[in-house]
Amino acid sequence: MNKRERLEATFAGEQVDRPAVALWRHWPIDDLRGPELARATLAFQQTYDFDFIKVTPNSNFCVAGYGATTTWVGNEEGTYVWGPRVIRTAEDWTRLPPLEPSDGLQGEVLTANRLVGEAVGKDVPFIQTIFNPLSQAKNLAGDRLLADLRQHPEAVQEGLATITESIVRFIDKLKATGAAGIFLAVQHASYDLLTEEEYRTFCRPLDLKILEAAEGMWFNLVHLHGRNVMFDLVADYPAQVINWHDTETPPSLGGGLQRTRMALCGGLRQWETMLRGTPDLVTDEAATALAATGGRRFILGTGCVTPVTAPTGNLVAARRAVETVRTK
């Protein structure tokens, strides 16, 4: 099978020649310029030959247009430290303008996607990271977000509507790059942060609007970040794949298969295994994941980004596992 055939069969729960596999990571400093982000992304793919590419920009790319700033200080995950928050009063939520997707860092990310698309053509599917509206709001407001959400809900909802409009505009431009879909990063579908009612009110309708904007793209992935996730609240999202920290928080991979029609992506721990483990541990963990799913409706990957300091041998082991480990 080629990569698209393998992925589409995986989405449908059909027999595949081997399970699909993909890892992704951040590209600090390179992610500030479109050509450099594309170069780093393509070199990573050429080295490991994963079944799809996730284009992973600086998480500031979608809010820099509002004045948000970040600084690179060497985090192992590849993320930046945030500068002063843009939202400092409840009224600030109502002052956000819709962003022009071709400007600033968003424009650089669109350039990166275009260059990736020109390089890989139809041979390698690629998807672009999209932080959902509340994730972007967190980056604008920091620690005051949840307090504002509960004390000034109408102002926050006005800001979220503007952020959503900016995302929809960006996705419209993204489609022209040849991207197969989006990687929708959801960071607040957690009982540690919100109640189910709050998620249904502030998040779910906007998530669905974003996925509606991605309609026509054939590979959309929903990522649930954190622990104690509200899996069932997103299990019916109109996307092809769901990814969460399955080795750290319920449900298990086997349980997840029973609770969603989407294919699952996961099985490998980003820190204990990919960073601090060995190739043998990677292989063992991959075997456990493949046994739990039977290799059907499953993509081997991590629950979140692979650390930038992960040993290359561990990445190679993950790629080889889908060739060597046999499912029953």
pLDDT grade for 326, boundaries at 50, 70 and 90: confident
Give the pLDDT score at 325. Answer: 84
Nearest to 166 by CA among 55, 34, 92, 62: 62
pLDDT at 327 exceeding the cut of 70: no
pTM of the model: 0.97
Instruction: Scan for tokens 């309708």, then name that residue.
Output: 205
Displacement of CA 208 from its chain's centroid (Å) = 16
Average pLDDT of span 177-182? 98
Average pLDDT of span 174-198? 98
Cβ atoms of 86 and 63 closer than 8 Å: yes
Give the pLDDT score at 20. Answer: 98
pLDDT at 288 exceeding the cut of 90: yes
Amino acid identity, position 297: R
pLDDT tens column, 198-252: 999 999 999 999 999 999 999 999 999 999 999 999 999 999 999 999 999 999 9
pLDDT tens column, 20-78: 999 999 999 999 999 999 999 999 999 999 999 999 999 999 999 999 999 999 999 99
pLDDT tens column, 250-263: 999 999 999 999 99
pLDDT at 153 exceeding the cut of 70: yes
Which residues, in sequence order, are CB contacts of 95 under 8 Å at separation 6+?
Answer: none
Displacement of CA 129 from its chain's centroid (Å) = 5
The structural domains of the chain, ordered by start, are: 3-324 (3.20.20.210)
**What span, in angstroms and rounded, lies between the C-alpha atoms of 11 and 200?**
26
Pairing of strands 70-71, 53-55: unpaired
Cβ atoms of 254 and 289 closer than 8 Å: no
Q: Which CA distances in Å does 132 have to 64, 163, 255, 306, 314?
A: 15, 9, 25, 21, 30
Average pLDDT of span 81-98? 98
Give the pLDDT score at 195. Answer: 98
pLDDT at 328 exceeding the cut of 70: no
